[in-house]
Structure 1
Amino acid sequence: MAARKGLLGGTPRLVRRAASRRPAGGAGGVVLLDRRHLYILPTPGGVGFAVVLAAMLMTSLNYNISLGFALTFMLAGIGMSCMWLAYRNLLDLAVAAGPVAAVHAGQDATFHVRVDSRGDDARIGIEARVPAMPEVAAATLTLDANASGMLALRVPAPRRGRLELPRVTIASRFPFGLFQVWSHADLELSTVVYPAPEPGAPPPPPAHRPDHGDGAHAAASAARSEGGIDQLRRYRSGDPLHRIAWKHSARTGRWLSRAGDPPGQPARWLDWHALPAGMEPEARLSRLCAWLLAAGDEVEIGLRLPGMELAPARGASHRRACLEALAMWPQRPGPVRAAQHA
């Protein structure tokens, strides 16, 4: 019984040793599944196949059946070929982190794992799963020779903050499921989980017209461009490139952006302290998130949180910066270790 358990699931020492080793990451975070980091064991079906072969061999020996010997050795050869094909199906695969998009709490974050085939053979039935999260469904992929593809793992994101992808297991049972080959990959892949927007949130606070008493702002607003009078202001983080006044910035030595709106364009502040005093912190973040998503681009949006303030601006990059601030509060948002696709 102990021997059979070792065949099916591996001894505890073997499992711990395999789990503690992983392929070394190369340039660009690429993990190469080489010969030293591939593991193979028979599946329950493979163990049953071996038992049947042993019974056929004993029967052929007892009754001296020549055709029985031929059939037994032929099936044994097929089994050995399956072991080699299963091993070669993962050999020298290159695994790397793919894109991942930010999500809201309560949704599933889709982590993409890129797999590159560096050989002249097709790779069939490649499987990726997350052992630390049994609830995550496995993703499968089949690649042609010298091709690449993506494995999509949908990981639940129950709360806001930073969500990292745990160790990923790449496995295969090709061709007949008699053997399982696997390896591990630790990919530096993470995303930001925004707060869940409050359903049925009340209307956002009204916009207020900014104070134009700043002398620098008034001087910039009086500048002229080739097409006529442009309202200029100091550059703010998140301003799109097409709004930057390149000539005026080079002339004055300061970064200036075209407002493109008449003077006195209102700005809307989303203020933590303006919310009802009895609201819990997570409820405040959810309401601010709902207001931020509903604001659109009609007015500039500013965000005030305890210990943090983002000046009014507009655009997708500014909205993303505000959402990341809500997601990471009370910490400050940091870089995400993956390319984000909104």
Structure 2
Amino acid sequence: MSTPTSNATSGPTSAPNGRPRGPAEWLRRAHGPVNGVVTLHRRQLYILPTRGGMAFAVLLLAMLMTSLNYNISLGFALTFLLIGIVMACMWTAYRNLLDLEVSAGAVSPAFVGDAAVFALHVDNRDDTARIGMEARVQADKRPRIPGRPATRRPGGAASAASASTVPTEAASLTLDAQASGALALRLPATRRGRLTLPRVTLESRFPFGLFRVWSYADLPLATLVYPAPEAAAPPMPLLARADDAEDGALSIASDDGIDQLRRYRAGDPLHRIAWKHSARTGRWMSRTGQATRDPACWLDWHALPDGLDTEARLSRLCAWVLAAGDDLDIGLRLPAVEIPPGHGAAHRRACLEALALWPERPTS
């Protein structure tokens, strides 16, 4: 007679395929946020002695064996006193991370070659201070091609082989009782596209460095990496400007208004003089009272020289987008992507996003 199959082994102690979890799978399990917050509960903390802690344990063992061999009472007292201190250090190190709350903060985009900054908010709701906490991530050395999905691991976060990851600089933080703080993690931006924050490792070696306590946090943070602007990019292909007219009108809007500017003429009233632009250019300029904008300037992928490769084209277009500033109306044409002419910070950000994600389409 067959026995019904029990599902008791498919709980927390078993893997999804029914076999028992190994130590490596326990460390890879997900540590995602609940309502946007990752709380470091006791079941999510891991503790092991450091190299210094192992050496100190060997020293205590040698002191204990010596005291037993020679029946030294003071040796016993000193050995057990140090063992008690070690136990207190282990609990203090464990308590230093217990019940901390970690949540996602602000994220800043970056250009290729720079570092993207991910901010994490850490809240200490306990009445004891938290000293010497550190956060670090493993940055992927292998650049990901935009449009190709990243490799996923069983825990749910993007992963790579250990040989292709490098540890980044750790961010440290000390919090007083009932206080909050921020950890700024800097990831190298090696290639344009989406940059996702890998699994964050939070650790502490307080108080004496005898034990290392750590935990993980999988936070859904991502940013964009823009192409590196070309260092010595040629001038933008501007359209014909009204500067060639007889009256010398310029198609550049003034900083303190939207009026069109022209060269100063004798008899122009003083209140019509564009003082800021005149000081910047070194020649007298007057406002005409016409609210006309600059002519549209198209930054076209197909108008670039044929000898430029894909990344060089994107770098030149990125340099032109940045050089346009907030006043000049520009449009962007890429293969299968077109952004109509516009100006301002939001329009510039949309153009940079299209350059970062190409050949993907920018999000609307």
**1:52 alignment counterpart:** 59
Cα contact 2:171–2:184 (8 A) shared by 1 = yes
**Distance apart, 1:69 and its partner CA:** 1.1
Cα contact 2:332–2:338 (8 A) shared by 1 = yes
Alpha-carbon displacement from aligned partner over 1:278-310 (angstroms, at most 9, x marks no partner): 321211111111111111123211111111111
Cα gap change, 1:109 to 1:261, in 2 (>3 Å): farther
Structure 1 alignment gaps of length 5 or more? 1-11, 210-229, 231-259, 336-342
Alpha-carbon displacement from aligned partner over 1:185-233 (angstroms, at most 9, x marks no partner): 1111111000111111110011368xxxxxxxxxxxxxxxxxxxx9xxx
Distance of 1:70 and 1:148 partners within structure 2: 42
Cα contact 2:196–2:223 (8 A) shared by 1 = yes
Asked if 1:199 corresponds to 2:206, the answer is: no
**1:85 alignment counterpart:** 92
**Which of these residues, 98, 103, 111, is aligned with residue 118 of structure 2?**
111
**Which of these residues, 307, 310, 314, is aligned with residue 336 of structure 2?**
307
Distance of 1:269 and 1:179 partners within structure 2: 60
Give the AA of the match of 2:219: L
Give the AA of the match of 2:50: T
Give the AA of the match of 2:34: G
**2:101 alignment counterpart:** 94
Distance of 2:175 and 2:361 partners within structure 1: 41
Cα contact 2:331–2:339 (8 A) shared by 1 = yes
Paired residues for 1:1-342 under 5 Å: 13-14=22-23, 16-27=24-35, 29-131=36-138, 133-207=165-239, 262-263=291-292, 265-334=294-363
**Distance apart, 1:53 and its partner CA:** 1.0
CA RMSD of aligned residues (A): 2.3
Alpha-carbon displacement from aligned partner over 1:116-155 (angstroms, at most 9, x marks no partner): 1120111011011114542411111111111111112211
Distance of 1:264 and 1:188 partners within structure 2: 41
Cα gap change, 1:32 to 1:208, in 2 (>3 Å): farther
TM-score by length of 2: 0.72
Distance of 1:159 and 1:92 partners within structure 2: 36
Cα contact 1:208–1:267 (8 A) shared by 2 = no
Give the AA of the match of 1:268: C
- Percent identity for Structure 1 against Structure 2: 65
Cα contact 1:119–1:145 (8 A) shared by 2 = yes
Decide which moves more: 94-103 or 73-82.
Answer: 94-103
TM-score by length of 1: 0.76
**Distance apart, 1:114 and its partner CA:** 1.6
